[in-house]
Structure 1
Amino acid sequence: MEEFNLIVAQQPQWIQIWMNILSFCAFVLPVSLLIWKKTRLTAIITMLGSTLAAAGVLLIFNQLGYVRLMGLGHAVFWTPLAYYLWRQQGHEDMPTAPKWIIRVVLLTIAISLAFDYADTIRYLLGDRTPVLAPA
């Protein structure tokens, strides 16, 4: 994990900012859904999905380094999670605040998935150069 953090620190500033937003929206914000009884299961599923996605990314990083295929770790777990969150935010009887929290989490995951799918496809098409090697 330390090596991963060192490499992220070498990324352009916008990527570092994005990683902070992503971490907050995928790991911290879902905890707030525990407040409402109606969204407690959604909170747990979201936190579990994000934890598994992060583990997938770190597993690929540990095996292959900082390569574009790391996006596959997110894609595997966040694709079904995004569908689930889409369904949850559409419930008409859900209070407004958790509905908007779910939408922010979903939007953040969807943006990440756009990058993740593009990177994974590039890797599978032959772009296997490490994005950034450790210093």
Structure 2
Amino acid sequence: MDDTAQKNLFVEVWTSFRNIPLWVQLWMVFWLVPINAASLLFWQEENGLWVALLANIAMLLNLPVMAYERRISRTMALPHLPFWTPLVVLILWMTPDLSTTYGVYLWVLAATNSLSLAFDYADAVRWFNGDRD
């Protein structure tokens, strides 16, 4: 990919991102991505490697989606489903101890990704029904 095409890709994705509702932009940049990325800080805890893998693979798989579609779209909900659903189930199964930093983090992560999954499942249904914007 030459420099012009690469710059255009970044401009197109950035422009698309800036066109989604402001609250979604803020949610993604200041909460959703950081809270999932923070799982890397706990990779040595009980099931921490699984938590980190499930949390971050779902996000990383959106990079090729954005590159291919050259925009933010409902397709980005799809990688979350097979990774964040088992992640939330794993955390609930673990019943983390709220007296530890890791336990509090896991409950916050589960709540965050549960809320995100509610939107993701709705977007996935719309995507499968042909609404792919």
* TM-score (norm: length of structure 2): 0.76
- The share of aligned pairs that are identical, in percent, is 27
Structure 1, unpaired ranges of 5+:
131-135
Counterparts of 1:1-135 in structure 2 under 5 Å? Answer: 2=10, 3-19=12-28, 20-28=30-38, 30-33=39-42, 40-64=45-69, 65-88=71-94, 90=95, 94=97, 96-97=99-100, 98-128=102-132, 130=133
Q: Deviations over 1:16-42 (max 9, x none)?
A: 1110210121112x24535xxxx6143
Per-residue deviation, 1:49: 1.4
The runs of 4+ residues in structure 1 deviating greater than 3 Å are 1-6, 31-34
Bigger drift between 105-114 and 5-14 goes to: 5-14
1-side partners of 2:52 and 2:14: how far apart?
21
Alignment match, 2:4: none
What runs of 5+ residues in structure 2 fail to find an aligned partner? 1-8
Task: Count residues in correspondence.
Answer: 121
- Kept in 2, the 8 Å contact 1:60–1:73? The answer is no
Higher relative contact order structure (alpha carbons within 8 Å, sequence separation ≥ 6): 1
Give distance in 1, aligned partners of 2:115 and 2:124: 14
